[in-house]
Amino acid sequence: MIFKQLFDKETSTLTYILADAVTRDAVIIDPVFGQEKRDLAALDALGAKLKYIVETHVHADHITGARAIKDATNAKFSAGKATGLSCGDVMLEEGDILHFGNEVLYAMSTPGHTDGCTTYRWKDRIFTGDTVLIDACGRTDFQQGSAEKLYNSIQKIMAYSDEHLIYPAHDYNNRRVSSVSQEKHSNPYLQLDKAAFIETMDGLKLPRPAKIDIAVPANEYCGNADAAGIDTSKIAHAVSA
Ligand SMILES: [Fe+2]
């Protein structure tokens, strides 16, 4: 198996490359705008042929790097069907799978942070987006957020056996991987029952993401900023903010 984790310092976003070790067919999960050169170089170094660009959700904090990577590789754009994106190539529902070489990526619908949030599993690795973060979880106060749905989605992920690894979309404290077991025991949000979880999430007073008004429209066009009418100089700013 080929697995590479990449980190964008400016947005604390974790990007993942998975590939079949024999055929070199590959998938990239949650690329970040401005990191296309890095990502394409990483694919090149692995001798990888990119088949799919996969998004865990419509991000509010950064613009996806999907557009430039798609232009360079002709890979298909894929995300959850419930995102409502009309720019995607392969839109996934619960239980849908993506094949890359002899490898399989399984999609599961995990709404709550946003309606279209999709968690992916490959072997013993679960890519949770912002549904489960290390010792945290995604916020539920915008983009169709629902604490009740998020609670149910987290239970769905935690139903996997303890040794499954958790790879989130972000970490702000230099951590890179967790496990179902670790999150069950140490994630403070997972110690709450449903009512307490909803009350806690609904009571969070979080600042509005600085670049949400740029990131969400661009991501609704699968990272095609021009189509979204976004000034590219603002996008560059969005990455560094
Ligand atoms: Fe998010």
Instruction: Tell me which of 3.60.15.10, 3.40.50.720, 3.30.565.10, 1.10.10.10 is the CATH number of domain 2-231.
Output: 3.60.15.10
pLDDT averaged per 10 residues in sequence order, the chain, 241 residues: 96 98 98 97 98 98 97 98 98 98 98 98 98 98 96 98 98 98 98 98 93 94 93 55 34
Per-residue confidence (pLDDT) for residue 241, from 0 to 100: 34
Q: How far is the CA of 43 from the centre of ligand 1 (A)?
A: 25
Q: How far is the CA of 141 from the centre of ligand 1 (A)?
A: 11
pTM over 0.85: yes
What residue spans define the domains of the chain?
Answer: 2-231
Q: How far is the CA of 13 from the centre of ligand 1 (A)?
A: 10
Q: How far is the CA of 62 from the centre of ligand 1 (A)?
A: 9
Q: Are 10 and 238 in contact (CB under 8 A)?
A: no
Per-residue confidence (pLDDT) for residue 238, from 0 to 100: 44
**Residues at Cβ < 5 Å from ligand 1 ion:** 130
pLDDT digits (tens, 9 = 90+) for 43-65: 999 999 999 999 999 999 999 99
Q: Calculate what percentage of the chain has a pLDDT beyond 90.
A: 93
